[in-house]
Structure 1
């Protein structure tokens, strides 16, 4: 059988007593060796030099109650036993040097004695497995029983043993994921994985977060949801403050962000706090951060790093402790190369970066989002609105086809469903309304496909190829841009291959459009997974 080793602090008050009357008192360290169902083979007992005599007496008394227990006195001198850093460091150093042997010994950390700080530090060491054991809690006798060893209980921090707790933790995480997605049962695997990581980061970190993606992809909504999630967990006390940096120009940019003193510039007739101070203890969402001027970027960097800054026209710094989420539809790496964005600011906000895909690249999520928008429209209109079976089939068939550009992403979808719901008679959206809406969308996007195919998508291409972009002929660049544009309109390599090789297929004895496209992309070091993100 494995030996049992108990690790704990000497109780300078609870374990004290010099006279014979000490045997009438419950002393937690001595009592551990008096339990019939707990055999302590070795006791590692921490004490400081002020209590050497008490530690020796406790060791002597244990020799009487449990001769088979080896007591090892460990002198641990702490300048301040209530200082978390000092206590944890001392215990960590001891545990790092201790010859643990889990094949021969079981370890129990006694958390009844010592300061509360010492007890918490033992808990943390066990939880992190620096001390490979369980927690041991003891208690004095209760009720009429005035003497005896009392009770003891093992606390195992391995949550895998507690199915009910595990299930509650799992349910809480699923609720958080559902909340971040506004209750929409999204089906896109990459998007779901992205949201799962955002949830983990949101509840564990106060570091800046960068959300990239096209306009209308949901950056603002996700930022607000992150705030509400953290607020519900009591991690933020302040407000959600949002500003679109594309609307900031001239003196107004610095004034809006950092505030100003009265008279700082023409028109500054009163003091203004600015959004950074308004977001104190809360969350600040700076959308389109790439639109900020270089001066404002430098001031923002200081505010993010040091939590203090100068309002315009003031010679006195102010403080604001806020969490930053930034949004952009630009590739900030290219903006840095062009001299329009500060590299040091990008490095500071690029710790957690997430790219939200446009709706056209999440076509499997269109159906649940249509249902969500219908529910929202029903609430706004004060009436229940539903698509008929025929209308629903026709709308989804078009909405999920490559023909639907969704250039405005979720804004386009929200507007489309709102129009249908508003025009619905008796809350029913029939095939007639759907066909009219499809025609409206076709007209709305009639120039989108032409524009997207003719525009040189240098941002995405440079992000995919890096410096290799500069080595390619213009012919290869234009051809590759066109191929990738077509690929991103389809959900699979096979579908994209069929669209690209729709004429030459008939002239080939062996048809494998997917393999043909794969080999073309491989010439440039690209794969379907890379270009379809």
Structure 2
């Protein structure tokens, strides 16, 4: 049986009494909850204000005299107005976030009999939202003529309610001082990524030149761009809005109008003037995601707008001005696009002053755990319900998430979706091993479906002639080996993953050498297939 901790307010009225033997005949809820034979309280966390410190000491002494096995943990919680809902809820939320709860090691009861009605409601809501991971405890005096006397009666309430969305909840921003503003308070461990963020932070506060963020879909380009904007706004370096546009959605004649605006009557359907996204971003920041999808004409006008802060709306006779800072994002190789004539070399040169390559999640496996906690916090902020893993489930999920079996094809979007699914399927606020097992199976199916029929990546490695001479059986096997190598940090790590089963049956092995010899059969070396 796990130890039991009770958390509740000192009852400044109900717990008060005259000193003397007569006090034992009065029902005092904080004392009475330790008097029940069928309710062993190992720890009582007593919340009280400074003015009631003497009463709290008095009650603690009485509890010690009748229940020496109960430890009284007095916590001062001063309230300017105990009837102010916002203040009470906020301070209780701060208490809940700071308390070292361990539901795997102990049980919790939240005593809602004492305190103001506002405090009782706040305790209820925080318990229902799993910020206080326990059951509600309600106590009351014995009815007239009922056995029990001073202890009275107690009832435990196990909440299983749908989301309580009728109240605006306050969420404290928990950003550790040692982490970068641009990382949203996430304590990332990947050294190359941390160095990259430090560089971006320096550029963000010291330069107004365009910034180019490159990286795979879902690597966090959009979120990082917004954080750069928020950092500059915090330092009063921008006043206008953050304007984001996915250039892949801008097609045909509508692209010019969306970006640069148009005059009324410029074309069929232009019933009114349109300012365009560049003018909307004036004195602010414009984030052009997937800039490689823009047409050459739009690229030329973007370059003029960056350099001269002026451009011509569609159908206009007069140029307009807009002073914005540009951040561009892409998952394409813009250097190759320039060589192929699909991207202007002069625009690429203008963007290439500050270029930062964001790695995918599979390249930052040590950062999966802190990002897992970040996604749980985002879910709590979004849904108003705190969801956590039990110890075994968390270990199982992280073991899979950090293994080579986890491809993370969609990068952080995959992780965010995964956390949302598990949290949604855990209405009691605890993600268990069964839920994790189902999610691992779901991700495995998802990634298998995503990669089916895709380019296996062997063409640039072997060339047409060598591929034509390769049996389909060998091609599938080689493609799997190459994919594993690209997800691995070293030749040895890839070898261990590929030969895990056969290694267990051998007395000695050199997986790295075995893999090197396999690659040599196809004229390949580790440097060609890694990363």
* TM alignment of 1:344-383, pairs within 5 A: 344-383=346-385
Give 3-state SS (helix, strand or coil) of 2:244's partner.
Answer: strand
Task: Give deviations 1:295-351, integer Å, cap 9, x for gaps.
Answer: 101111111111111111112111111111111111112222222111111111111
User: Per-residue deviation at 1:480?
Assistant: 8.3
Partner residue in 1 for 2:265: 263
Partner residue of 1:122?
none
What do residues 331-389 of structure 1 show as CA deviations (whole Å, max 9, x unaligned)? Answer: 11222222211111111111111111111221111111111111111222222211011
Does the 8 Å contact 1:381/1:422 carry over to 2?
no
Q: What do residues 115-173 of structure 1 show as CA deviations (whole Å, max 9, x unaligned)?
A: xxxxxxxxxxxxxxxxxxxxxxxxxxxxxxxxxxxxxxxxxxxxxxxxxxxxxxxxxx9
1:512 aligns with 2:510: yes
User: Do the aligned partners of 2:179 and 2:187 also contact (CA within 8 Å) in 1?
Assistant: no
Kept after mapping to 2: 8 A contact 1:361/1:488: no
Quickly say closer, same or farther: Cα 1:398–1:526, change in 2 above 3 A.
closer
On the 8 A contact 1:294/1:341 being kept in 2, the answer is yes
**Deviations along 1:370-426, whole A, 9 cap, x unmatched?**
111111112222222110111111111222222222211111111111111122132
- The answer to whether the Cα contact below 8 Å between 2:247 and 2:294 also exists between their aligned partners in 1 is yes
Per-residue deviation at 1:447?
2.5
Shift of 1:510: 7.6
Aligned to 1:191: 193
* Range that drifts further, 332-341 or 225-234: 332-341
TM-score by structure 1 length?
A: 0.60
CA distance in 2, matches of 1:286, 1:175: 31
Shift of 1:505: 7.1
**SS state at 2:407 partner:** coil
Give deviations 1:73-129, integer Å, cap 9, x for gaps: xxxxxxxxxxxxxxxxxxxxxxxxxxxxxxxxxxxxxxxxxxxxxxxxxxxxxxxxx
**Counterpart Cα distance in 2 of 1:350 and 1:480:** 36
Cα distance change of structure 1 residues 385 and 174 upon mapping to structure 2, 3 Å threshold: closer
C-alpha contact 2:211 2:327 (8 A) present in aligned 1: yes
Shift in CA distance, 497/282, structure 1 to aligned 2, threshold 3 Å? same
Counterpart Cα distance in 1 of 2:179 and 2:480:
36
Residue matched to 2:278: 276
Equivalent pair of 1:220/1:287 in contact (CA under 8 Å): yes
Aligned CA distance change for structure 1 residues 419 and 482 (closer, same or farther; 3 Å): closer
Q: Give the Cα–Cα distance (whole angstroms) in 2 for the partners of residues 450 and 193 of structure 1.
A: 36
- Aligned counterpart, 2:163: none
Distance 1:518 1:354, change over 3 A: farther
User: Aligned equivalents of 2:424 and 2:452: distance in 1?
Assistant: 31
The corresponding residue for 2:321 is 319
- Of 471, 494, 518 in structure 2, the residue corresponding to residue 496 of structure 1 is 494
* Contact 2:241–2:281 under 8 Å retained in 1: yes
Structure 2: tracts of 5 or more residues without a match: 1-174
- Show the counterpart of 2:484: 486
Alignment match, 2:225: 223
Report SS of the residue matched to 2:405. coil
Residue of structure 2 in register with 1:293 after alignment? 295
Q: Which residue of 1 aligns with 2:457?
A: 456
Change in CA separation of 1:481 and 1:433 when aligned onto 2, cut-off 3 Å: closer
Report the CA distance shift for 1:505/1:418 in structure 2 as closer, same or farther (over 3 A).
Answer: closer
Deviation at 1:446, TM superposition (A): 2.2
1:514 shift after superposition: 3.1
Pairwise CA RMSD: 3.2
Question: In 2 relative to 1, CA 245–449 (structure 1 residues): closer, same or farther, beyond 3 Å?
Answer: closer
Shift of 1:497: 2.3
Q: Contact 1:299–1:309 at 8 Å: present in 2 too? A: yes
3-state DSSP class of the match of 1:238?
Answer: coil
Pair 1:398 & 2:382 matched = no
SS in structure 2 at match of 1:446: helix
Question: For residues 524 and 452 of structure 2, what CA distance do their matches in structure 1 show?
Answer: 25
**Contact 1:405-1:449 within 8 A present in 2 as well:** no
1:384 aligns with 2:382: no
- Aligned residue for 2:446? 444
What residue is the counterpart of 1:138 in the other structure?
none
Gaps of 5+ in 1: 1-172, 463-468
Work out the CA distance in 1 between the residues paired with 2:176 and 2:395: 30
Provide the rounded CA distance (Å) in 1 between the counterparts of 2:503 and 2:391: 37
- The 3 A distance-change label for structure 1 pair 317 and 374 is same
**Of 423, 426, 434, which aligns to 1:424?**
426
**For the structure 1 residues 200 and 525, does the alpha-carbon distance in structure 2 shift closer, same or farther, using more than 3 Å as the test?**
farther
Partner Cα separation in structure 1 for residue 479 and residue 248 of structure 2: 28
Equivalent position SS for 2:420: helix
1:335 and 1:192 map into 2 onto residues whose CA distance is: 29
Query: Separation in 2 of the partners of 1:450 and 1:508?
Result: 33
**1:182 — aligned with what?**
184
Contact 2:404/2:497, CA 8 A, preserved across alignment: no
Per-residue deviation, 1:187: 1.2
Determine if contact 2:180/2:198 at 8 Å carries over to the other structure: no
Aligned to 2:210: 208
